[in-house]
Amino acid sequence: MAFMQLQTSANNWPPLPTLPENPSLLTRLRIGLQTLQVLKVEPTNPAWGALFYDSVELGRCADMARQFSRHTEGRRLLADKPSLSGGELDLDALEKLPEGTFGHTFARYYREKGLQPILTLSPPKNDAEYIAKRLRETHDFIHLVTGYGTDVMGEMEVQAFALGNLHLRTSLVILLNTARELPQHIPDFDTGVYLRRLWAAFRRGADSRQLASFRWEDHWETPMKLLGEQLVAPAEEWN
């Protein structure tokens, strides 16, 4: 989640807020924006990351759960609830898979970027929370299958792709909240070019198969090129 590394100074954060039962939209947005400020500095913080999704996205995740119940792939995912939490991923084993496979590419990506898989601190209590957990854990897979980078611009393209593909409110919040900071972090920032790239990524997401219910862990040995061709639409020209 390179976009969140826009600030590097350390902070003493306030206590983790508690999301009340049946919170209003205003409360969810307020807490979501508060957590986003923490995640800009500590992008892999599991507690604040989970709260960000819970505050902004659970309504959308509940909608997804209802959609999943209508097709075989979704029902299987909700029945099995496979986990891609950091404690359950063996990067050493994945890195030993043949070069060019999804598993090998994923492991090398994490090694080279110095990343650690997302940790989940507490098990989800329902299907909506499971889908929110799943979306957090599979975020970086979108980078891999789309080819969008992990620099600030690449992260914004991933968020635009996710907005088009999954209709995630978190992606919209991130895009809007970081817009004013981008000229400081993108060399020779050009608003027109930036917006065209976002629009191309959004359209690509809308034209691709819906990724939320995809069973990524069944495809560690699938060639990366083939997986990308199966899952995402070709990249559009944005010039």
pLDDT the model gives residue 24: 77
For residue range 43-82, list pLDDT tens digits in order: 667 677 777 777 777 788 889 999 999 999 999 999 999 9
Cα 25 from Cα 89, distance rounded (Å): 35
Question: 117 vs 11, 85, 106, 120, 222, CA distance in Å?
Answer: 23, 7, 10, 10, 20
Q: Worst-scoring range by mean pLDDT, 86-90, 137-141, 195-199? A: 86-90
CA dihedral 237, 167, 39, 28 (to 10 degrees): 150
Q: Worst-scoring range by mean pLDDT, 117-126, 194-203, 217-226? A: 117-126
For residue range 132-166, list pLDDT tens digits in order: 889 988 989 999 999 999 888 999 999 999 999 99
Q: Worst-scoring range by mean pLDDT, 15-29, 93-107, 112-126? A: 15-29
pLDDT the model gives residue 3: 38
Q: Which pTM does this prediction carry?
A: 0.81
Mean pLDDT, residues 217-223 taken together: 97
Residue 117 has phi, psi (to 5 degrees) of -60, 150
Cα 61 from Cα 51, distance rounded (Å): 14
Cα 39 vs. chain centroid, distance in angstroms? Answer: 13
Cα 37 from Cα 142, distance rounded (Å): 23
Cα 33 from Cα 55, distance rounded (Å): 9
Mean pLDDT, residues 166-186 taken together: 84
Q: What is the mean pLDDT of the chain?
A: 85
Whether residue 39 is predicted with pLDDT greater than 80 in this model: the reply is no
At residue 11 the predicted structure's pLDDT band, cuts being 50, 70 and 90, is low
Mean pLDDT, residues 30-41 taken together: 77
Tokens (6 digits) for 108:
């090398």
The answer to whether 52 touches 35, Cβ cutoff 8 Å, is: yes
* More confidently predicted of 133 and 37: 133
